[in-house]
Structure 1
Amino acid sequence: MPSQRRLLQRRKTYSVSIKSGEHAEQMAFQESESFKEKAKERYKIEAKNSELKHRYGYDVAESSGLLGMQLQGAMALFAVNLKRILKIAD
């Protein structure tokens, strides 16, 4: 067994990433100021999406069909917006 352990310790692997033109464009975009500004605001949107999913059932469809899903989404959004309006009014 010790000889196998020594063999494993001697092996090394290297990885080289090859970036296509699209990857290079995306990396350049992520370094831009407009992307960084949008990323700073993203956490607010994610918090609202999380509230919709976990508190108001926006994550799982309760009925089948596109119309049922649209109604469920509309009711969840309406409930959240109404709650926010009432909170602002107080």
Structure 2
Amino acid sequence: MNMEILIASLTSHGHRVTTQRVHIMKHLWQKNIISNIDDLYVELRTKQLVSWATVYSTIKLLCQLGWLQLHGSEAGDKYYSWIKK
């Protein structure tokens, strides 16, 4: 699995690959588990201007395309992890 395949997957499904989206995906790529979206947003903002909406929509899109998986329940702790392709 590499970043080029991930980007190709987005474009092949008709999704735009914006500068902000690439920044988010590269940052996520370095993590095995994404446990706190709020902390992730703060980390991302220290390097480039991104919005909450873009962070959440990118994570949701990666889940829909089968790249990230949500673990946990609504009542408990939730976290995301990469699905190995």
TM-score of the pair, normalised by structure 2: 0.24
Larger relative contact order, structure 1 or 2 (CA cutoff 8 Å, min sep 6): 2
Greater share of helix residues, 1 or 2? Answer: 1
Structure with bigger gyration radius: 1
TM-score of the pair, normalised by structure 1: 0.23
